[in-house]
Chain A
Amino acid sequence: MAAARRSLNSRRDGWFMVSPITAFLIVVLAIPLVVDCIYAVSRVRFETLRAPEFIGFGNFAKVLFDHEFWGAMLFSLRFGLLVTAAEVLLALVLAIFLAPLLAKRSWLIAPLMLPMMVAPALVGLMYRLALHEFVGPIPYYFVLLTGDSPSFLGPDNVFWTLVTIETLQWTPFALLILYTAYQSIATDVREAAELDGPSTWQMLRYIELPLMRPTILAVGFIRFIDSFRVFDNVFTLTGSGAGGNTMSISIYIYEVFFRRNDIGVAVAASIVLLAVSFGLLTLLLRWSERQA
């Protein structure tokens, strides 16, 4: 009897403890998700936000047959993969080469982290100024040294300019995590390996990198999610670009929602994105678990 009462009390305490976070999640996630599901199957505009008209799955069909949606998905996928690869590689090289210096002068980590402390929207605005041919310092030095300046935001270069900007801003994040992982490799492991007299490359290839692999995968995973859903810096720098050539999936949803006032379609697109992301992330997680 006493054991049953204790169990009941314990269960009640458990419910009591998780109730705040449950309530929070219901308010910030579940209710908006329910509203989203209603809007996704409705004809709804700003004028009819409180009176959506049920139309079935027409909004999903519109999204799936919209070539702009797939163009935006392709942009985000390409952008996300390239940026992730660049950031992880660059951060890995920096983490390994700067490790001795950072071990001695750890304060250097602070200035290295500065780029990621700037809000992405401000980074976009900053480069809008920095790359302007007549007021920006970068074109100024190009003109000074070569007599001409490349078209950083022209149709041929704009994608690579955006990739570079994103990489420069977020490589410090990857660097911080990878440097920590590199430093946390136990000294005795390295000492044991050195008994076999490996070269620096062999030490890196067969000892250090395998030990860092779970962290590398986790960093790549986080950075891919972040860069796939890129919005702020691209939006403030180029918008959706000439003919939509810099339209990420987040910008696509924003434009359909606000500019076209087609809220049902925008919400349907976001649900499709959620489903695709969920599937993709599940696959990636399983793969990374196997790799780890």
Chain B
Amino acid sequence: MKSIVQALCSAAALLALSGAAARAEVTVLGWPGGPEEVSLRASAEVYNKTAAADDQVKLIFFNRDNFFDKLQTDLAAGTTEFDANLTATYAVGRYAPFMDPLELPAAAHETFSDGVLKTMQFEGKQYGIPTDLSMHFMYYRSDLIAKLLSDPAWQAKYSEIAKAKLGKDLKPKDPDQWNWDDWAATALFFTKSVNSDSPTRYGTVLQMKNLLFNMMVWHSTARSFGGNWTDASGKVIVDGPGYRAGLQLYKMLYDAGTSPKDSLSYEYAEANAAFGSGQAATMLQWNAALGDLDSKEKTPAVAGKIGTVAPPAGPDGRFTHIHGLGLGINASSKHKAGALKFLNWLATPDAMLGYARSGGSPALQSALVDKIAKERPDLVKIGTFAGQYGFVMNGATSAKTLPIYELQAKQFTGYWAGTQSLDDALKAVSAGMTDLLKK
């Protein structure tokens, strides 16, 4: 009996010790899949080489599906399973009650501009170190556009289609000069059901699934037509000409067959698969897709034949939605000091240059971008586009940002699907947003 008790005590002691050892690690919950995960893994490896035993960083990743719902549940439950976690511009207000504000190290200002640091702020407090900046590129098939710009027969057909379908006299232009009409005409021209000579089945691929991220993609269109969430006084103004024009453009393109028939169930992955098959000539998509699409191993059909520019211009100018992903401190963490050490290190110029070299897309100060411009020319583009065209809708960093995106996604996809009128969709969104923002 005595030996059994001794054995049990020893086992308990061992368990306690191993638990203490496990608690000595700093656990970081990152954004799963894609270049963000690869870069974070590489950075943690570098950090762990010099970090003290108690500060070693361990990474964990949820599945990407409904990531933010899972994160919210864990944070609200006061989890201690991770010490630092992902946050995003559009969710920073949602998670702020469960996270600790940060005191930024001086090095962070050498690495990031104030504008970029603001993407991780809520009510004037810093809740995260920005790691990646996301925005939209207009992807196009450079080989097909080159032919369109040089072949008189194609140009004549293009003008004929633009006149017949859009009622406008248009000629092919360089994608960097496109407005939304030029894009629409190009999409129609490269659609087989409209132009039987088209080398692609579809002129574009629209992401129209009832999903908040698809609203972000579409917002670049709405904003360039003058749409916004609220005016300066905080009044909801979505039921206006800007939103109306942007919604009608997508509806017209979908109804005209320029995008796959199942586009109402398409999101990031489905759109990439369509464009990557070589059967879609253009696509408005997140910048993160470029690496895979331009890889000869992953998408041989289009790799090396892709051009990227900022989204087309509208009457109010040219815009791209931007948001940052970053890492902040879980308020319930038992290892805040260790987590803070890692985040402070991550905010240094050297750490962020390493992060960028591993595939991440941080928005760095121009002096740092110059250091890696040869290895990562896309970062130059990201920095330029963010500075020139980047926007965040008024009120889109509030605690109600995600429910607003959800509301818009539901109502607008209903309009695109033809199950409700444009007026009804806009009225429902306007009323719902007013209600959400006043709570």
Q: What is A's interface to B at a CB cutoff of 8 Å?
A: 46-47, 49, 128, 131-135, 149-155, 158, 236-245, 255, 258-261
Q: State whether the Cβ of B208 lies closer than 8 Å to any Cβ in chain A.
A: yes
25 pairs, CB–CB < 8 Å, chain A vs chain B? A46-B72, A47-B76, A47-B97, A132-B273, A133-B274, A134-B276, A135-B277, A149-B261, A151-B261, A155-B419, A158-B265, A238-B265, A239-B210, A241-B413, A242-B209, A242-B265, A243-B411, A243-B419, A243-B420, A244-B210, A244-B414, A245-B414, A258-B72, A260-B406, A261-B94
Contact check, A134 vs B420: say whether CB atoms are below 8 A apart.
no
Chain B residues closer than 8 Å to A236, beta-carbon distance: 65
Q: Which one of A135, A236, A239, A259 has the greatest number of beta carbons of chain B within 10 Å?
A: A259
Q: State whether the Cβ of B415 lies closer than 8 Å to any Cβ in chain A.
A: yes
In whole angstroms, how far apart are the Cα atoms of A154 and B65 in the complex?
A: 22
CB distance from B154 to the nearest CB of A (A): 24
- With A132-B273, A244-B414, A259-B403 already in contact, 12 other A-B pairs whose C-beta atoms are closer than 8 Å: A131-B262, A132-B262, A133-B262, A135-B273, A151-B261, A155-B264, A158-B265, A239-B209, A242-B265, A242-B414, A243-B419, A258-B69
B259-296 Cβ-contact flags toward A at 8 Å (1 or 0): 01110110000100110110100000000000000000
Contact check, B261 vs A261: say whether CB atoms are below 8 A apart.
no
Q: Which one of A128, A135, A243, A258 has the greatest number of beta carbons of chain B within 10 Å?
A: A243
Chain B residues closer than 8 Å to A244, beta-carbon distance: 210, 410, 414
In whole angstroms, how far apart are the Cα atoms of A131 and B265 in the complex?
A: 11
Other-chain residue from A49, A132, A152 in contact with B76 (beta carbon distance below 8 A): A49
Contact check, B210 vs A260: say whether CB atoms are below 8 A apart.
no
In whole angstroms, how far apart are the Cα atoms of A153 and B270 in the complex?
A: 13
Other-chain residue from B76, B262, B277, B413 in contact with A153 (beta carbon distance below 8 A): B262
Other-chain residue from A242, A255, A258, A261 in contact with B413 (beta carbon distance below 8 A): A242
Contact check, B403 vs A261: say whether CB atoms are below 8 A apart.
yes
Given contacts A49-B76, A135-B273, A153-B262, contact A243 B69 (CB under 8 A): no
Q: State whether the Cβ of B178 lies closer than 8 Å to any Cβ in chain A.
A: no
In whole angstroms, how far apart are the Cα atoms of A171 and B274 in the complex?
A: 33
In the complex, what residue of chain B is closest to A255 when comparing beta carbons? Answer: B406
Chain B residues closer than 8 Å to A242, beta-carbon distance: 208-210, 264-265, 413-414, 416-417, 419
Chain B residues closer than 8 Å to A133, beta-carbon distance: 260-262, 274
Other-chain residue from B72, B276, B410, B417 in contact with A155 (beta carbon distance below 8 A): B417
In whole angstroms, how far apart are the Cα atoms of A241 and B414 in the complex?
A: 9
Given contacts A242-B419, A245-B419, contact A259 B402 (CB under 8 A): yes
Q: State whether the Cβ of B73 lies closer than 8 Å to any Cβ in chain A.
A: yes
Other-chain residue from B274, B402, B406 in contact with A134 (beta carbon distance below 8 A): B274
Q: State whether the Cβ of B351 lies closer than 8 Å to any Cβ in chain A.
A: no
Chain A residues closer than 8 Å to B69, beta-carbon distance: 258-259
In the complex, what residue of chain A is closest to B412 when comparing beta carbons? Answer: A243
In whole angstroms, how far apart are the Cα atoms of A153 and B415 in the complex?
A: 16
In the complex, what residue of chain B is closest to A149 when comparing beta carbons? Answer: B261
In whole angstroms, how far apart are the Cα atoms of A260 and B72 in the complex?
A: 12
In whole angstroms, how far apart are the Cα atoms of A180 and B418 in the complex?
A: 47
B55-100 residues with Cβ-Cβ distance < 8 A to A are: 65-66, 69, 72-73, 75-77, 94, 97-98
Contact check, B210 vs A153: say whether CB atoms are below 8 A apart.
no
Q: State whether the Cβ of B211 lies closer than 8 Å to any Cβ in chain A.
A: yes
CB distance from A73 to the nearest CB of B (A): 17
Chain A residues closer than 8 Å to B270, beta-carbon distance: 128, 132
In whole angstroms, how far apart are the Cα atoms of A241 and B266 in the complex?
A: 11
